Amino acid sequence: MMDPARIVPVSAPRSDLGCTRRQLFLGLAAAALLPRPVRTPRRLVLVWLDGGASHLDTFDGKPEAGVHIRGDLPSRRTPLDGVFVGERLAGLAARLPRCALIRSLSHGEGNHDRGSHLLLTGRRPSPVLVHPSLPAAMVKDLEVPALPAFVAVPDAPEYGGAGFLPASAGPFEVGGDPARADFSVRGLEAPAGSERRRDLLAKLDAQGGARSPAERVRDRFVRQAAAMTADPAVREAFDLAREPDAVRARYGRHRLGQSCLLARRLVGAGTRAVLVRDVGWDHHLKIASALTYGFPPKLDALDQALSALVDDLEEGAGDVLVCVASEFGRTPRLNPAGGRDHWPRAQSVLLYGAGIARGAVLGTTDAKGEEPASDPCTPGDLFATLVRALEIDADAALRTPDGRPVRLVPEDAKPLAAVLA
Amino acid sequence: MRRAGTLSLPVFAIACLAAVDPGRVGPTRPPDFVLDVLPLLQRQGCASAYCHGAATGQAGFKLSLFGSDPAADHAAITRALGGRRLDLAEPEQSLLLQKPLRRVAHGGGRRLRDGSPEHILLLAWIAGGAPYQLDAGERLTRLSAHRAESRLVVEARFSGAGRERVEDVTELSLFSSSDDRVASVGRDGTFEVVGPGEAFLFARYGGRSARLALVQRFAAPPPAPPAAAAAPLDAAFAARMRELGLEPAPPAPPLRLLRRLHLDLTGMPPSSQAQRRFLELPADTRVATTVTELLATKAFAEMLGRRLAEWLELPAFGDETPAGRRARDLLARVRAFASTDDPWPELTATLLGERSAFLQQRDDPRDRAELVARTLLGVRVGCARCHDHPHDRWRRTDHLAFAACFADPRPAPRDTMAAVAAGGGVLFDSETGLPVTPRLLPMVADALADDHRPQSVHAFVHEQTHDQAARSLCNRVFAWLLGRGLVEPLDDHRDTNPATHESWLAVLQATFHAGGDRLRPLVAAIATSRVYGLDTPGDEADADARTRWFAWRHSKALDRDTLRRAITGVLGVEEAALPVLPPSPLRRRLELLNGDAMVRALHAPGNVVEALAALGGEPREQLEALFEVCLTRLPTAAERAALLPSFDAEACAFALVMSREFEFLR
């Protein structure tokens, strides 16, 4: 017979205290029958490179292409065979064996708004219906929590919100720049001496008879605002000052770095989805200098922030999925202004964490980075992949305002098995 | 020709099968694809977006969504896969039958019963050589539905080549109900009335729909009241309430009504003086007098300007680019129009004019066409951009032809479909590559002018035969004042989405035209009507049902712009004292609850708290004054008991402007 002392630490229920061996074995047998141990639902950090990051200068380097294609920025070899990334992405290059990379994402929406809708919702834009983004669909049925279930840092791009779902599925936008010394999320703290005011408000609101649906929605937000104000843990989750200086420096004292750090704090505290929006990737002019000058250089900030995020989540529970994406790639051939224009026919997406295979690379583009050369996939497929990795029901029906059911995952989308764990 | 209601499938099919009662055989018509098979595939759900109608089809078999492309579907069945889906020699062996009968594996499960009329029909069609359309000159000209006990019977009238025939197509039609809470309808057309109210049952066949109204009274209608001279809207209101057997709510208390009028029309609660004056006016004319006065104020013009900007989907801000400046000019133009009482068509003429800033907001002519249809006509042509809409009349070709009316006569930015052309712009069909002939929407049976000059678009928008511009506008004004439109969603007018009270819309359209197509007489007619002045429900059991039929008033949330103005207004501080409220509801709530601006406003010099202190009355008087200013009423006994002990004017003022009652018009 097995020695229970050897088993207990593995299954880790603390039920061994004060129970007989028989009870313990019955318990273990029952646990073995459960399809999956109960644990916290998987969470998402979506890093949105707003404007359309150039795939050639980030994750799909073409060192052997002509200079009019590869541009002025060199690429570097990575531990993965045949994968070249921007030279400045040294940290990420070293971490690629822990991530999954999709290089053959391809679609046909070359406008920012249409491309954003497609990537964020998995569906082509419709003239009559704005679909909900993935994070909104994740949190639509959650109870009113003190800590918002969906947070956008610092704000959500167009189509990153609730779409046709009720406003309660939308993001809580923290606003401001998390890298500023005086950054704080406004309105989380009750002003001094406001107890009496809020007490009277609660008394006034408590009366009155039947409430219309709209009034009940308003009441829900009032309750949540009060709960957020009352719970010190919420303020703590949003308070970057609680991070040691060394950690803040590791993420980088810039907008993207501190946004990613805030995202990590929030998912650690129980937020289901964080959308980090990094603006300024629409490089029509002089892309080489736009990516490598400035404070901090765009690529350095990306490398530093994502490397720190990947390291921290590695130490943590592994229940967090990180997805780095934007609305499209950029033209492989440099334009006369030394920039790159919109290019939806090829783009790269970086994935890491929960449900994602480590070191997987899906697809290649042709020698010029213009088209997928193998394993072409669509934003719908990416959406289905994220849904699968997050362990959400792909068949769940979302209700449009006129009552029509819409499947969460587009009907023609297939999860990309190659990048799934 | 077959008699209606007795035989419902082409009897040729039945004649084919010995098992069927030969007594039912009558004059025959062999089934064809367009008239019989296509509707059947839709009805069985084969062509839905979840099955073979999906963009990529299903298991290699693709049908057009909702049967919008019959020729392609016919080809997919008869010719694709080397014609393997049909077996003309042995019809019963056809995949088209074997799959849904589940004789071979079918991902969609069993969709046909062996020996069912649907089975027989498909069999007969294959046996007959799977024809596309046997009489190509024949067109479906009319679809009608009538009830036979608790079942809908659908008749189609076909005409062509000098012949006309009527056919029962009940078993090929799709059924739906406009309101499942009133009546439900089954797949075979049997219906059941489940609750009080009015519902329309729809039957769809061959791209057309027919409807049947069902009314289930809430209670026996009260005896008709003595005929009194009533405003047309009030008369229509009373008639509909009688028809539905609904007892309308009593009139709202005078001050509650006054609060509605002031907040709706000027965005500010009534002052104490306005309240006293209202109560002193003669009861039978005070509403009309007040409405007339309010409509003449600058605050009303501003409110109307904000509503128009919302209806026309104008951006709130314009940056310092040429496009941003045009947007600001446009907004200024619309606001200037709101301060006059010019006829509505004068504004729309500006909006639709040559190189108008309104249309120039969008680059793609299709976006322009949809913008015009949505904002000025309240119709969603946009669905037809991708597929023929199953519940609407627009075809893809209608959408494209209408979009062609808005093509630019100049080189357009990239990524759009407009091209360079001398004189008029040309739109090319992305599927065929051919130029599209501009055509106005087929709103009425007779085709309208084949022209795409701005004037003809304007003339079309205001065309009296459909009167859709007036209908849409009246519905928007009604929704502004009542909190909900007679047609919802506001931009979704179509035959299959009827108004809650069709007669009221007709009255409003007549009122609008009688007032010279001006907005103010229309607003006045609604604001002085009986339905506007009804009370809101308390705890009544069927409040939801009654408010749905406008027998009681809904409570209505102030929009965030009005809320901000109203809060600063009653607190007696500058409007700018509160920042623009964030659109995110949770952020807005936190901003109001904990934000610095609110605290500063409560302590601002000269605000309502200071004014009360300066008057120096008893706490009771101060509390009453605060309630009067903020909520247009006096405190109840319970509120006095809660708020008077250790009275704190500042805390009270905060609680009142933040309360649910302040935010929702009752």
For B29-79, the pLDDT digits (tens) are 788 888 888 888 888 888 776 678 766 677 788 887 777 778 888 888 888
Average pLDDT over residues A164-184: 90
Torsion, Cα of B411, B412, B413, B416 (10° steps): -130
The answer to whether the Cβ–Cβ distance between B370 and A127 falls below 8 Å is yes
| Residues of A in Cβ contact (< 8 Å) with B557 | 214-215, 218
In DSSP terms, B155 is beta-bridged to B144, B168
In DSSP terms, B251 is beta-bridged to B534
What integer pLDDT is reported at residue A17 of this predicted model?
41
The answer to whether the Cβ–Cβ distance between B652 and A110 falls below 8 Å is no
The answer to whether the Cβ–Cβ distance between B654 and A197 falls below 8 Å is yes
Q: Which of A198, A219, A225 sits opposite B586 (nearest CB)?
A: A225
B653 touches B609 (CB < 8 A): yes
Q: Which residue of A has its CA nearest to B55?
A: A412
* A213 vs B3, higher pLDDT: A213
Q: Which residue of B has its CA nearest to A201?
A: B655
Q: Which of A172, A226, A411 sits opposite B49 (nearest CB)?
A: A411
The answer to whether the Cβ–Cβ distance between B643 and A187 falls below 8 Å is no
Q: Is A208 helix (H, G, I), strand (E, B) or coil?
A: coil
Long-range CB contacts (within 8 A, 24+) of A195-198: A196/B648, A196/B651, A197/B650, A197/B651, A197/B654, A197/B655, A198/A226, A198/B593
pLDDT digits (tens, 9 = 90+) for B164-198: 888 888 888 888 888 888 888 988 889 998 888 88
How many Å lie between the alpha carbon of A301 and the closest alpha carbon of chain B? 29
pLDDT digits (tens, 9 = 90+) for B308-324: 999 999 987 767 788 88
pLDDT digits (tens, 9 = 90+) for A233-283: 999 999 999 999 999 999 999 999 999 999 999 999 999 999 999 999 999
Residue B265 has pLDDT above 90, yes or no: yes
Q: Which residue of A has its CA nearest to B591?
A: A187
Q: Which of A22-31, A255-264, B100-109, B558-567 has the highest mean pLDDT?
A: A255-264
Residue B60 in tokens: 């290699």
Residue A318 has pLDDT above 90, yes or no: no
What integer pLDDT is reported at residue A193 of this predicted model?
80
Range with the lowest mean pLDDT among A279-283, A386-390, B2-6, B94-98? B2-6
Q: Which of B385, B585, B595 sits opposite A186 (nearest CB)?
A: B595
| Residues of B in Cβ contact (< 8 Å) with A197 | 650-651, 654-655
Best of B660, B661, B663, B665 to disrupt the A interface (most A CBs within 10 Å) is B660
How many separate helices (H) and strands (E) can be counted in chain A? 14, 16
In DSSP terms, B196 is beta-bridged to none
Residue B9 has pLDDT above 50, yes or no: no
Q: Which of A128, A186, A207 sits opposite B380 (nearest CB)?
A: A128
Best of B554, B586, B609, B658 to disrupt the A interface (most A CBs within 10 Å) is B586
Helix, strand, coil percentages (3-state) for chain B, rounded to 5, are: 45, 10, 45
B415 touches A111 (CB < 8 A): yes
pLDDT digits (tens, 9 = 90+) for B433-451: 888 888 888 775 444 444 5
CA angle B205, A126, B489 (to 5 degrees): 65
